[in-house]
Chain A
Amino acid sequence: MREVLIYLAAAVICVPLATRLGIGAILGYLAAGALVGPWGLALVGDVAATQNLAELGVVLMLFVIGLGLDPKRLAGMRGALLRGGMLQLGASGAVLVAALLVWGVRWEAALVGGLALALSSTAIATQAMTDRRQLATPTGQAALGILVFQDIAAIPLIALVPFIGHVQRAGAQPMWERLAIAAGAIAGVIVIGRYLTTPLLRLMARTNLRELFTGFALLLVIGIAELMAAAGLSMGLGAFLAGVLLASSEFRHLLESDIEPFKGLLLGLFFISVGMTIDFGLLASSPVLVAGLLAGFLVLKIASLWAVARWLAICRESWLFAFVLSQGGEFAFVVFGTAREANVLSPQGQSLLTMVVALSMATTPLLLIAYDRWMRRSERREGEADAVSAEGPVIIAGFGRFGQIVGRLLLANGVGVVILDHDPEQVESLRRWGFRVFYGDATRLDLLEAAGARTARLLVNAIDDVEASVTLVDRVRANFPDLAIVSRARNVSHYFELRLRGVQMVERETFEAALKAGRTALEALGTDRFRAKELADAFRRHNIASVDETLPFYQDEARRMSLGKQGREELERQFARDRERFEREHGGAK
């Protein structure tokens, strides 16, 4: 309990300070860790226990990233993912292994150490890209592909570690057995993710108990992570896989918003734990050596990443790509520890390299700040199109009788839409018809956020419940003031409520249909069809104008009644004038 208090206090003090200084939350967490860690104020003793818990943050993050990926698109990316990943691991690995050999490290250690250093930190890199809203851009996707590949590549690397110094671990299974277990675990995750979870999630959603749904979501992710760990695989990889399998489920956005706070907190804890591993004693005793190693590592890794970016044709943002992936990963800590146990690395060497990796995690946000400054200075607006986000530019809240017509018109014209509906049965049946509908209460802020309200161009508010509809508008106005709203109004007073909240585009749901019926009635009575249209048009124009005129007196019923009566009389006079003019111009037959 005391440790939780310390972590929370350190984070609450350091993170706002860091964001205030404009250096980003990650550096804030790292600083908080350094402050409370054994090399700072030494407030926390058991760093390893913290690291175990913090690892869950990385697991949850990978689950959320997986949720954000469309499996169909991922399948299409497979080739690029493999090519980019192998290229990066090969290029960065070769350069770093060579450097370690030159530095005088034994070749086995250099091989494993160099490859370990070539891996980047998924936590740091994706968090940095998320903060910059870069994850959905081509550069972000390429970087993410490489990070996923690295997670897979880490598995054979872990298997390699025992061979350093020829130290055989007790009770080690033969290679084929471990591979078989790994394959079995992956197959298990696929079966669970594809066939078991969605019906279970539906069951949980029907109970209408929010906390039960959240609990089940956490159980699912942690369970899969444990299963993978038991099979000797990366926990993050399992969570990522589960996320991808659930990405096409209607619960995607709800899962995302439920896991999000846990992910954020635990990821913060992860960064704190990295901060705690920074050995300030060593930094004080040999600052030049540490700085030299850090600089050397960064130069080599960034240069190799830059070359890879060029190769992958990420020309415009090759520096950004290199900076985002420049740090060493968590995995390097594990490898260095094992390498010391196997006596291929001296204790001195281990702490030095650990230090370099931890510091390189801290330099990533700094490099990105420098990159932004530099870009701003050299920016001359080349007029290039913005990278297209993966989410739809239009959010449709409510997909019943009204929303469906709006949505189908947009979909038929290639407009990307994210659809939210709160009725599980409705969502289920719509999904059978092939619509991509997400389950959830659209008035919830976190769900809106997950649906992309920050980047969407338009919100179609097609909710049938008046109260919920107004709540949604209030939330959107307060939190996403730039998001334009097209809204359905159940009746005139709902129309007023919406207009008073500043919604410009409001359609009364029965107005157009009733007007059309009136037009058809005129036609049935023998009015020429085009004339009937003109009369209905005139009625519409007058009606909208007079309704809007009463808007300021919406609460004053007496005033509204008198204005309404006045309006009706004026409409009659106007139609009489129009009839007269029409008869004068088109007297003729009849």
Chain B
Amino acid sequence: MIVVIHAHPYPSRSRAGAALLGAIRDIPAIEVRSLYELYPDYDIDVAAEQAALARARLAVWLHPVYWYAPPALMKHWFDAVFADGWSHGKGAALRGKDCLWVTTLGDAERYRVDVGRGFEPFTPVVEQIARFNAMNWLDPLVLEGAHALDDAALHAHARRLRERLDAWSAAQRARHA
């Protein structure tokens, strides 16, 4: 079971998001949760989110980077869902589950990153959130300059995500066979 936590404020305006989600939507046993569609008023249903995570073996965090960080609702989702006593502290609801970070940097964001110190200084924050909640951090999939890519390049990238998820599913089946 794979759960995709997708955070983009205007999904119909996101080419990269559409390509990535389009490539994986037909995987059996996958659940896509688009946070801005579910909770436009930021009224996150914590119990429902925790239940979705509890069902899954792999959580995919899929979102663009805005100002070196996840969009505001994604951050709010971390704040609300990863509660003390549930996934950390006395609780360990996510222990051993895999976490794959799939993120895209638009042109503006890549510019901000390029004139700064690159993107690397910012990844440990998201990684640490997963690790602190006892999740298994997989090698992230970062797409830079998403706006400038043509459709072919975008779909090639989306296929890479599909391959990663298929490989993960195969490994799961092998382990339980």
Contact = CB atoms under 8 A, between A and B. Distances in A.
A531 B18 contact: no
A494 interface: no
Contact of A589 (B15, B36, B37, B73): B15
Contact of A528 (B12, B18, B147): B12
Interface in A518-546: 526, 528-533
A104 interface: no
A273 to B, nearest CB: 65
A588 B64 CA distance: 14
Given A533-B41, A586-B10, A528 B36 contact: yes
Nearest to B34: A529
Contact of A530 (B10, B15, B18): B10
Of listed A526, A531, A589, residue having the most chain B CB within 10 A:
A589
B118 interface: no
B13 A590 contact: yes
Contacts of A589: 12-15, 18
A587 B12 CA distance: 10
Main secondary structure of the interface of B (DSSP, over half): helix
Nearest to A529: B40
B89 to A, nearest CB: 26
B9 interface: yes
Interface residues of B, number: 14
A586 B8 CA distance: 11
B9 A531 contact: yes
Contacts of B147: 588
A349 B17 CA distance: 101
B13 A588 contact: yes
A586 B40 contact: no
A588 B14 contact: yes
Contacts of B145: none
A13 to B, nearest CB: 65
Interface in A552-590: 586-590
Q: Give the size category of A's interface with B.
A: 10 to 19
B11 interface: yes
A587 B18 CA distance: 14
B14 A532 contact: no
A108 to B, nearest CB: 70
Nearest to B11: A528
Contacts of A529: 36-37, 40
A526 B12 contact: yes
Interface in B26-44: 36-37, 40-41
A589 B73 CA distance: 22
A2 to B, nearest CB: 73
Interface string A390-429: 0000000000000000000000000000000000000000
Interface centre among A526, A530, A531, A533 (most CB of B within 10 A): A530
Nearest to A590: B12
Contacts of A533: 40-41
A126 to B, nearest CB: 50
Which among B13, B18, B41 has the highest number of chain A CB atoms within 10 Å?
B13
Interface in B20-73: 36-37, 40-41, 73
A530 B13 contact: no
Contacts of B13: 528, 586-590
A36 B12 CA distance: 90
Contact of B9 (A526, A530, A587): A530
B12 A530 contact: no
Interface centre among A529, A532, A586 (most CB of B within 10 A): A529
Nearest to A531: B10
25 contacts: A526-B12, A528-B9, A528-B10, A528-B11, A528-B13, A528-B36, A528-B37, A529-B36, A529-B37, A529-B40, A530-B10, A530-B36, A530-B40, A530-B73, A531-B9, A532-B40, A533-B40, A587-B13, A588-B13, A588-B14, A588-B15, A588-B147, A589-B13, A590-B12, A590-B13
Closest 10 CB pairs of A and B: A529-B40, A586-B13, A530-B36, A588-B13, A533-B40, A530-B40, A528-B10, A530-B9, A589-B15, A588-B15
Interface of B: 9-15, 18, 36-37, 40-41, 73, 147
